[in-house]
RNA sequence: GGGGACGUAGCUCAAUUGGUUAGAGUACCAGAUUGUCGAUCUGGGUGUUGCGGGUUCGAGUCCCGUCGUCCCCGCCA
């Protein structure tokens, strides 16, 4: 139907007879001559209709409206030099047309389809008409980027000897971790499949099967609450390798990320990517996914306050807590109302409050705590924090973990407020040596990563005596404060795996029921192996500078996990429920509300 | 589950202390217009103020409930 796309005609095509197809972007009717900007995913070309060329074509052009689908035939002509449009790649030419076919008409779109206007439109409307939203150049670009990056990843991994293997979407629920999406079985009444939270066990079994290097662009499902960077279904670049150390994984991912940065047009990055131990990440940045685009690290000032008159700090230190500080350089003029907001945030994060000192340009310390500070403490703080006139210093005092987390959050918003975060910068870091276990709310041990994660060999001695001290061979890759992915070296020894389950307090019968297949498999010669999974949506989001992974997913869900275009989830027929042996037990208060079937 | 922001024309927004017929830009429709490219000019308001209830002489505005979207906390091995 077409000889060219709407993005490719140049001066070199002048004189050629061409056929173009696309959507009407705009119609400019001058009474005589009519201009139509014709758009497809490749670009925009100006088409000119003159009644002297063809009255019939002119009539149809005049009747065309935005988003009509048309096909035109015409001759490529140069534009007079002063009428070229530098905003268009095709701006030096136009197509003089005497033939136009309206392939399809369009209703008036419910919102403007140009990027600038659409950015202001409420997101629910864009989602309800996602197919129109996707017509916008920005969304076309995002989807195209996504495609190109996945292509680059596949080529890279193929060359590195990886095999792409699909694993089941209908699998078995594993009660740890996230809530599962369940699929009822019709054939076996009362039983359910679960959609995979990740292909974790399958990929480990593939190592056992001898597939050496596996990868998959894997869809994963987690029934948890949504965020800007979390969707109930998302995509991972999932991989697993046999006979590897963490170094091997770092090397492969470093190379992969370098390729992706290049494919996204962000140039070369220095390799190897920087690394940081988990403890350092927590102590310096207060996060296991530190944003290392800027400094403003935490400093432990407990020693400065060793004999302090300040009761709050003294009390914390007496109980074995710490006092840590952030110096927001040059932010001494931060308003009290902002400080109130940040204090509320600190309290929300578990601190009793947020002590702070605003240093005036003259060097005067303006602070509710200033009068309690001794000269020695003043000097100690000045020296240790490099305090200068105009600085803002904030303190957190509590248990180490609480202070770290709370000040870590304050660091991010204070850094943002101070304009320290360069949105064009890409700062990667590995975070290594995660703890193997953590305590949950009930005080029980649970696996920080997952129960198949291998402990550090040198920490094995503490596995029973001091499990919280045991480090895992687990690692995350972080970009600009976003967790891009994580993985670990797995346990391949069935005895150690059984020991892990025991330490985690999983009863023997339950181990057999939930993991018996895995332990049995590991009894048949499991190679040492490890892997990693990268969140593809987050990666693409960061590469295209998006605010949310919804920007890089063609058909995302809302915060209530609804698809506003399909109207999913929806009710189903009683017969469908009977087939899968399900009887509904709905809350009584408002049975009429909720998503209607449709 | 909790905290916060928002909901008025197709879209983005305005509307004084609760006060007359709810406006503007844009889109849309009609007409004019032969070099525009955010075309221009003239004319046209197309509205269940998300929904339900309440207070009031009178509600877009106040109160209660509810629905929806977004951000954050919890949650996400």
Please report, rounded to whole angstroms, the spatial distance between the CA atom of protein residue A384 and the C1' atom of nucleotide B16: 55
Q: What Å value separates CA A344 and C1' B65?
A: 30
Closest residue (Cα, C1') to B7: A122
Span CA (A593) to C1' (B54), Å = 22
Both tokens of A496, joined, read 């150690």
Residue A439: which pLDDT band, with cuts at 50, 70 and 90? confident
**For A151-182, how does the pLDDT look when each residue is reduced to its tens digit (9 = 90+)?**
999 999 999 999 999 999 999 987 778 999 99
Nucleotides, chain B, CB distance < 7 Å: 1, 10-13, 26-29, 32-40, 66-77
Q: Which residues pair with A427 in a beta bridge?
A: none
| ipTM for the whole complex | 0.92
* Distance from C-alpha of A29 to C-alpha of A403, rounded to nearest angstrom: 66
pLDDT value for A454: 96
Estimate in Å the CA A560 to C1' B65 gap, whole number: 21
Protein residue with the closest CA to the C1' atom of nucleotide B6: A122
Residue whose CA lies closest to nucleotide B73 C1':
A348
Does residue A336 register a pLDDT over 60? yes
Would you say residue A512 has pLDDT above 90?
no
| The nucleotide closest to A196 (CA, C1' atoms) | B77
Q: What is the 3-state secondary structure (H, E, C) of A329-361?
A: CCCCCCCHHHHHHHHHHHHHCCCCCCEEEEECC
What token pair was written down for A297? Answer: 């690290």
Computed over every residue of chain A, the mean pLDDT equals 93
Nucleotide closest to A36 measured between CA and C1'? B37
Give dist(CA A42, CA A88) in Å, integer: 11
CA of A448: nucleotide with nearest C1'? B77
Question: Residue A305 to residues A30, A175, A372, A377, A591: CA-CA distances in angstroms?
Answer: 78, 46, 11, 7, 60
Q: Which nucleotide is nearest to A32 (CA to C1')?
A: B34
Nearest nucleotide (C1') to the CA of residue A177? Answer: B77
What's the pLDDT tens digit per position in A541-579? 999 999 899 999 999 999 999 999 999 999 999 999 999
Task: Quote the pTM value.
Answer: 0.93
pLDDT tens figures, A287-326 = 999 999 999 999 999 999 999 999 999 999 999 999 999 9
């Amino acid at each position: 139907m077409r000889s060219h796309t709407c993005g490719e005609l140049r001066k070199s095509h002048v004189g050629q007879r061409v056929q173009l197809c696309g959507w009407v972007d705009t119609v400019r009717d001058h009474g005589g001559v009519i201009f139509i900007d014709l758009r497809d995913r490749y670009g925009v070309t100006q088409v000119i209709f003159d009644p002297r060329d063809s009255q019939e074509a002119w009539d149809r052009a005049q009747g065309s409206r935005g988003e009509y689908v048309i096909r035109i035939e015409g001759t490529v002509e140069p534009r007079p030099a002063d009428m070229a449009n530098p905003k268009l790649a095709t701006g030096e030419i136009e197509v003089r047309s005497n033939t136009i076919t309206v392939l399809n008409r369009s209703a008036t779109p419910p919102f403007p389809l140009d990027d600038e206007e659409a950015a202001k439109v409420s997101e629910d409307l864009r989602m309800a008409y996602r197919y129109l939203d996707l017509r916008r150049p920005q969304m076309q670009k995002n989807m195209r980027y996504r495609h190109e990056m996945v292509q680059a990843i596949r080529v890279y991994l193929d060359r590195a000897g990886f095999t792409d293997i699909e694993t089941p979407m209908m699998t078995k629920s594993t009660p740890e971790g996230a809530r599962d999406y369940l699929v009822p079985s019709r054939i076996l009444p009362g039983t359910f499949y679960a959609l995979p939270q990740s292909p974790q066990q399958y990929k480990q079994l593939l190592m056992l099967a001898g597939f050496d290097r596996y990868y998959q662009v894997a869809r994963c499902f987690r029934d948890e609450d949504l965020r800007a960077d979390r969707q109930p279904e998302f995509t991972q670049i999932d991989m697993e390798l046999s006979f590897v150390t963490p170094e091997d994984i770092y090397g492969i991912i470093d190379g992969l990320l370098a390729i992706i940065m290049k494919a996204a047009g962000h140039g070369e990055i220095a390799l190897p990517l920087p690394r940081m131990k988990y403890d350092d990440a927590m102590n310096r940045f207060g996060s296991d996914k530190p944003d290392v685009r800027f400094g403003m690290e935490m400093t432990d000032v407990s020693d400065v306050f060793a004999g302090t008159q300040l009761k709050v700090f003294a009390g914390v230190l007496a109980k074995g807590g710490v006092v840590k500080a952030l110096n927001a350089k040059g932010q001494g003029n931060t308003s009290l109302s902002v400080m109130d907001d940040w204090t509320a945030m600190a309290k929300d994060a578990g601190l009793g409050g947020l002590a702070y000192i605003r240093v005036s340009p003259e060097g005067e310390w303006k602070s509710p705590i200033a009068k309690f500070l001794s000269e020695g403490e003043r000097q100690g703080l000045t020296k240790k924090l490099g305090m200068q006139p105009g600085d803002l210093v904030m303190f957190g005092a509590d248990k180490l973990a609480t202070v770290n987390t709370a000040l870590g959050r304050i660091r991010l918003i204070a850094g943002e407020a101070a304009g320290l975060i360069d949105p064009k910068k890409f700062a990667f870091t590995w975070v290594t040596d995660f703890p193997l276990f953590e305590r949950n709310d009930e005080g029980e041990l649970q696996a920080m990563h997952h129960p198949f994660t291998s402990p550090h060999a040198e920490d094995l001695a503490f596995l029973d005596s001091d499990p919280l001290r045991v480090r895992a061979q687990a690692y995350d890759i972080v970009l600009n404060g976003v967790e891009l992915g994580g993985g670990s070296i797995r346990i391949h020894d069935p005895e150690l795996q059984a020991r892990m389950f025991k330490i985690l307090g999983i009863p023997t019968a339950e181990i057999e029921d939930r993991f018996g297949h895995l332990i049995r498999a590991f009894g048949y010669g499991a190679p040492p192996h490890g892997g990693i999974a990268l969140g593809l949506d987050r990666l693409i989001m960061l590469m295209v500078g998006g605010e949310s992974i919804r920007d890089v997913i063609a058909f995302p869900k809302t915060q209530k996990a609804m698809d506003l275009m399909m109207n999913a989830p929806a009710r189903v027929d009683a017969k469908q429920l009977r087939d899968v042996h399900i009887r509904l037990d709905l809350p009584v208060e408002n049975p009429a509300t909720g998503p209607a079937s449709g």
